[in-house]
Amino acid sequence: MRLTGRRAVVTGAAGALGSVICGALAADGADVIGADLDRSGLDTVESAVTAHGRRWIPAAVDLTDFDAVQDTVGRAVKDLGGADILVNSAGGGAVSFFHEMTYETWTTQVDRNLTSVFNATRAVLPAMLEGGFGRIVNISSVAAIGGGRLVRGATAYAAAKAGVVGLTKALAIELAEQGVTVNCIAPGAQATGARDNDTPEWRESLLAQIPTRLLGEPEHLAETVVFLSSAAAVNITGVILPLDGGHSI
């Protein structure tokens, strides 16, 4: 129980990775605020947290809306009496070739994957600074490192996720002496439901690019989040950690 008494905020909590992260944080002792656009999806995560005897607060909000996030997430943090951990997992990609990409596609990708990180972090950080302890874990992507080589047409997503890398490093420096660490996980392809429709040919071409020939397991990623959120990770900050089976080597 590495997180007993800690209070966590997880964005994208209704998602394939966010929901597993919520359960893993609770299993190690943390109460969890789950923020997501998907209100009914949040309801399905509740038992993964309460089964461990931890408190669950759903925060249904569009994370691209600055004022709504300050209000909704800010209120949930007050309800919980503070915040020690923030996992920024909300996001998602869209394929669009650059020469025909609309301004709307570009801004939607940047807002969903990067501005959401600013909005949530801005809402939670004051409580961390007040408590003198904080662990921020941002979920970027291997696309931020390798340009999204798996899928052509990922420029907006890759650019936004690379923005998360820059934000992580600059914020880690800014907060280094205040008890708040900021780290980033850059996952490669994960074994989530999104992969269920892969054809055997597509799956083989994917695995051929991954030295271990393994997709990431959400439970392993969640375990990494728990470690980075723990007291033991006190001297780890500004790290960009690929969880990608060597894909980015």
Ligand X SMILES: NC(=O)c1ccc[n+]([C@@H]2O[C@H](COP(=O)([O-])OP(=O)(O)OC[C@H]3O[C@@H](n4cnc5c(N)ncnc54)[C@H](O)[C@@H]3O)[C@@H](O)[C@H]2O)c1
Residues 12-41 that bind ligand X (CB under 6 A): 12, 14-18, 36-38, 41
Calpha distance 63→24 (Å, rounded): 22
- Tell me: does residue 119 bind ligand X (CB under 6 A): no
Q: How far is the CB of 36 from ligand X (least distance, A)?
A: 4
In angstroms, give the least distance from the CB of 196 to ligand X: 12
Burial of 234 (0-12, 13-18, 19+ CB in 10 A): exposed
d(CA 172, CA 216): 26
Q: Which residues within the stretch 152-171 sit at the binding site for ligand X (CB under 6 A)?
A: none
CB-nearer residue toward ligand X: 70 or 192: 192
- Scored b (16 or more CB within 10 A) or e, 22-36 reads bbbbbbbbbbbbbbb
139 binds ligand X (CB under 6 A): yes
Assess 245 for contact with ligand X (CB under 6 A): no
Question: Could you write out the three-class secondary structure of 105-152?
Answer: HHHHHHHHHHHHHHHHHHHHHHHHHHHCCEEEEEECCCHHHHCCCCCC
Angle between helices 16-27 and 39-50 (to 10 degrees): 30
Interface stretch with ligand X, choices 25-33, 175-183, 187-195, 204-212 (CB under 6 A):
187-195
| Count of all residues that appear for the chain in the document | 249
103 is catalytic: no
Options 141, 181, 229, 248; binder of ligand X; rule CB under 6 A: 141
Given 56, 118, 133, 157, which residue is catalytic?
Answer: 157
8 binding ligand X? (CB under 6 A): no
Binding of residue 64 to ligand X (CB under 6 A): yes
Alpha helices in the chain (DSSP H): 16-27, 39-50, 66-80, 103-110, 116-131, 143-146, 155-175, 200-207, 218-229
Q: How far is the CB of 37 from ligand X (least distance, A)?
A: 4
Distance in Å, CB of 53 to ligand X, minimum: 25
**Residues annotated as catalytic (active site), given as ranges:** 157
- Residues forming contacts to ligand X in the complex (CB under 6 A) are 12, 14-18, 36-38, 41, 62-64, 89-93, 112, 116, 139, 141, 187, 189-190, 192, 194
